[in-house]
Structure 1
Amino acid sequence: MNLTALSILIADDNEMNRWLLAEQMHYWSEDISLARDGQEAWELLQKKRYSLVFIDVNMPVMNGYELIRKIKSELTEPVVPMIAVTAHVQSQDRHLLIAEGFNDCLIKPIVLADLQRVVAKWCMPFVVDNSDYYADKLLEKVEHNRELGRIFLQKLFAETPDQLASLERALQNQQIRPAWEIAHKLHGTFCFYGFADFRTLAKRLEQLLWEADLASAMRQFKKLAAKFSDLQNMQTSLLQRLNTEMERATDLGFRQK
C-alpha cells in the first residue's frame, strides 16, 4: 500500500499505547501528532486538518465520547475519519461506537492487520496504484525522458540490493555508524527518486540508527527491505507503465500540434 501526504493524530492518555500505535503508523507516515488527553487533541484539531484521527475512548480531562461530540458540533472544517481505540468493547459491539459518532473502531491490543484495514478503508484518497505512482514520480524526475527513466530505474535495481545487504550485515554486527551511513545514502536515493513511501521508511531507519536503537532499527530495516522486494517484483509492470505514460504524453503532443 502506498500512502502519501498522510497526517495522523493519536490521542491516548497512556504513553506506551501512544508510542506503540505511532510505531505501527510510521510504516505509512512520518507526520504523526500525539495528544495525552481529549483536550490536547481538541487544541491540535483546531490548528491542523489530519487525514486520520485515533481517539482512546477513556481519557482524562475530556474523554473520547466528549471529544467526538465536540468535534461533530464545533469544527467548521469537514470532519476527517475518527477511529475509536478501546480495550473495553467486544468486536461485535463496534456498532455502539459508530452510533456515538466514530467512523470505525480498533480493539486493544491493536493487531497490525486491523490497523491496515482501517488505513486502507479510510485513506483511499491517498492510495495510488504502485506502478502508476512510481512511474509518475520517475517521469517527473527525468522530465518525461523515457530512456533516461529506464537508466535511472536500472541503476536503482542494480545498486539498492547490495546496499540493503551491506546494511543488514552492519546491523547484525551492531556496527551503528556504517549502518547509519548506508541508511543515510538510501534516504538520499529515495528523496532523489521522489518515492515518498520509501523516503519515509528510510528516514525513520536513519533516525533510529542515529539514536542507536538497534532493535527498532532492525525492525524498520525489515520493513524497508520487504517493500523494496515488492518494488522489484513489479519491475516489469513499472517499465510497461513507464512506456505507456510516455506514449500517452507523445500522442498528446502530436494532437496538440
Structure 2
Amino acid sequence: MHDDAPDYLQMILTKTRNDRQLALTIFSQLFAELPMQLDGIQNALNRQQYDLARQIIHKLHGSLSFCGLENIRKQAHSLEECLVSNNYGMISRYWFQLQQCAFEFTAQQQTLLEELTRETV
C-alpha cells in the first residue's frame, strides 16, 4: 500500500464517522468524477475559458474539502485563487501540481476501495 493510502483512508473515515459504506460511496463517486473534472479543467484552460475552469475547480475544491483530501484541496485552491486574481502566468505551475496530486490519489484507487470493502474484525 502506498504511504499516503492510510492517510486518505483515515481522512475519509474521520469525515464519515467510520461509516465504511458511506466512505466507499463517497470515494467511488470521487474516483468517477475526478477524471471528468480534470478533463473539463484542461479543456477550459486550453480554450482560455478561465471562468469555466474556475467554476469546475470550485466544485472540485468543495468535493475535496468534504472528503478531507487536504493535499489535493490545497492545489485546487491555489489554482482557483490564481484564476480569480487573473494571475495567468502561474496557471501552468498550479495546474501541473494539481494534476500530480490527483494522479497520486487516483493511482491508489483499487487499494483504497478494497480496503473500504474489507470486513473489519
Instruction: Give the alignment's TM-score, normalised by structure 1.
Output: 0.44
Take 1:140 and 1:212, find their aligned partners in 2: how far apart are those partners?
Answer: 36
Instruction: Give the alignment's TM-score, normalised by structure 2.
Output: 0.89
Aligned counterpart, 2:94: 220
Helix, strand or coil at the partner of 2:42: helix
Q: Letter of the 1:136 partner, please give it.
A: Q
Helix, strand or coil at the partner of 1:212: coil
Q: 5 Å matches for 1:55-70?
A: none
Take 1:178 and 1:214, find their aligned partners in 2: how far apart are those partners?
Answer: 14
Given that residues 21 and 116 in structure 2 are in contact (C-alpha distance below 8 angstroms), is that contact kept between their aligned partners in structure 1? Answer: no
Helix, strand or coil at the partner of 2:111: helix
Take 1:215 and 1:243, find their aligned partners in 2: how far apart are those partners?
Answer: 43
Structure 1: runs of 5 or more not aligned: 1-128, 252-257
1:231 aligns with 2:105: yes
Given that residues 171 and 214 in structure 1 are in contact (C-alpha distance below 8 angstroms), is that contact kept between their aligned partners in structure 2? Answer: no
Aligned counterpart, 2:58: 184
Given that residues 171 and 218 in structure 1 are in contact (C-alpha distance below 8 angstroms), is that contact kept between their aligned partners in structure 2? Answer: no
Q: Give the number of equivalent residue pairs.
A: 120
Deviation at 1:138, TM superposition (A): 0.8
Please provide the CA RMSD for this pair.
Answer: 1.8
Deviation at 1:243, TM superposition (A): 4.6
1:202 aligns with 2:71: no
Of Structure 1 and Structure 2, the greater helix share is in 2
Take 1:189 and 1:208, find their aligned partners in 2: how far apart are those partners?
Answer: 19
Deviation at 1:179, TM superposition (A): 1.0
Structure 2: runs of 5 or more not aligned: none
Structure 1, residues 98-124: CA drift from partner, whole Å, max 9, x if none? xxxxxxxxxxxxxxxxxxxxxxxxxxx
Structure 1, residues 58-93: CA drift from partner, whole Å, max 9, x if none? xxxxxxxxxxxxxxxxxxxxxxxxxxxxxxxxxxxx
Take 2:117 and 2:57, find their aligned partners in 1: how far apart are those partners?
Answer: 31
Aligned counterpart, 2:15: 141
Given that residues 208 and 217 in structure 1 are in contact (C-alpha distance below 8 angstroms), is that contact kept between their aligned partners in structure 2? Answer: yes
Q: 5 Å matches for 1:1-257?
A: 129-243=3-117, 247=120, 251=121
Question: Which range moved further: 227-236 or 151-160?
Answer: 227-236
Given that residues 208 and 214 in structure 1 are in contact (C-alpha distance below 8 angstroms), is that contact kept between their aligned partners in structure 2? Answer: yes
Take 2:86 and 2:10, find their aligned partners in 1: how far apart are those partners?
Answer: 36
Take 1:235 and 1:135, find their aligned partners in 2: how far apart are those partners?
Answer: 11
Structure possessing the higher relative contact order (Cα contacts under 8 Å, 6 or more residues apart): 2
Deviation at 1:231, TM superposition (A): 1.3
Take 1:139 and 1:174, find their aligned partners in 2: how far apart are those partners?
Answer: 38
Of Structure 1 and Structure 2, the greater strand share is in 1
Aligned counterpart, 1:9: none
Take 2:113 and 2:54, find their aligned partners in 1: how far apart are those partners?
Answer: 31
Take 1:226 and 1:196, find their aligned partners in 2: how far apart are those partners?
Answer: 14
Take 1:232 and 1:184, find their aligned partners in 2: how far apart are those partners?
Answer: 19
